[in-house]
Amino acid sequence: MTSFPEISPNSIRVGWIGTGVMGKYMCKHVQDASYKISVHNRTRSKAEELLAKGATWAQSPREVAKESDVTFTIVGYPKDVYDVYFGEYGILAGAKGNSIVVDMTTSQPSLAREIYQKAKEKGVYAVDAPVSGGDVGAREAKLSIMIGGDKDVVEYLHPLFQLMGKNITYMGPAGAGQHTKMCNQILVATTMIGVVETLLYGYKAGLDLDEVISAIGAGAAGCWSINNLGPRIVNRNFDPGFLVEHFVKDMGIALEEARRMSLALPGLALAHQLYVALIAQGKGKLGTHALALALEQLNNLEMKKQ
């Protein structure tokens, strides 16, 4: 077992980079457990709530890493991850030996492996731990966390992961967490088509959509998307739990990995194209359930609540 200080608020300092829709809640749970936190975000205003509760502002990812025993990151795109870790003012320019860095962004498995290797050369341990559960899961500390890296390091971090999620799974070596998240996104993308088409059919048939969700959500067709995002669609609430433009990024990564493995995924390709069309309509900042808007347009109707 690698030797680390005890995981407790009195023994370690935590760093956090990325306080967006999900990151702010995840960081807040750690902060609420009395850990001292250094925080950085590209837009400082998004970190103000955490700063008001006692977090320390750092001017760069490098400064966060200098101050931290464990540094978490959850940013937007693989390019952002690359810059945060490898830039002149990046994490690996400041991380101290025997510290740990944990990327919770949904990113490329190959980039996770690169971070792992470059960190190892500096005596730093790297873990990839993307999450699923959206804004609700982040807010309620009920995220699913899929983890790749050295098993003993992951086990050491378990008390911190427990502050953010309920389903915490070690998947294997560096990159395995990201591969598992791709499996998650493939299922979510194709399931969302089914959710929207179900509601469109019910609407056209003159059914009460709330009752449709209640009737089928408890049966064999029940799933997280119909039970949690279906009501948002019916109520015309397309605020993001997870942004369309970020989801398109994820599907692009999955399709790229599938091509590399000579794997045909026509359902994912269709979902990707539908979501690209949604971005073309100027709706990239909405939540992923806004796919309903694209399919409504195809059918020349709007699911107005009766």
CA pair distance 283, 290, nearest whole angstrom: 8
Task: Based on the fold, state whether residues 160 and 40 are members of the same structural domain.
Answer: yes
> In the numeric block, which tokens belong to residue 140?
């309620």
Phi, psi dihedral angles at 11 (to 5 degrees): -110, -30
Task: Based on the fold, state whether residues 69 and 24 are members of the same structural domain.
Answer: yes
146 closest CA partner among 185, 89, 120: 185
CB 242 within 8 A of CB 288: yes
Bridge-based pairing state of the strands 143-148 and 165-172: parallel
Q: What pLDDT score does 135 carry?
A: 86
Which residues are the active-site residues?
Answer: 181
CA pair distance 50, 43, nearest whole angstrom: 13
Q: Of 139, 174, 209, which residue constitutes the final position of a domain?
A: 174
Regions of the chain where pLDDT drops below 50: none
Please name every residue paired with 165 in a beta bridge, in sequence order, or none if there are none: 143
Range of the domain at 140: 13-174
Q: Of 174, 196, 229, which residue constitutes the final position of a domain?
A: 174
> In the numeric block, which tokens belong to residue 12?
């370690």
Q: What pLDDT score does 1 carry?
A: 52
In a domain, 276, yes or no: yes
CA pair distance 306, 212, nearest whole angstrom: 14
Task: Based on the fold, state whether residues 165 and 36 are members of the same structural domain.
Answer: yes
> What's the pTM?
0.92
What count of Cα atoms within 13 Å lies in the side-chain half-sphere of residue 107? 30
Please name every residue paired with 16 in a beta bridge, in sequence order, or none if there are none: 39, 72
Q: What pLDDT score does 136 carry?
A: 87
Task: Based on the fold, state whether residues 248 and 281 are members of the same structural domain.
Answer: yes
Q: What CATH number is given to the structural domain containing 226?
A: 1.10.1040.10
Q: What pLDDT score does 306 carry?
A: 65
Q: What pLDDT score does 40 carry?
A: 98
Q: What pLDDT score does 46 carry?
A: 95
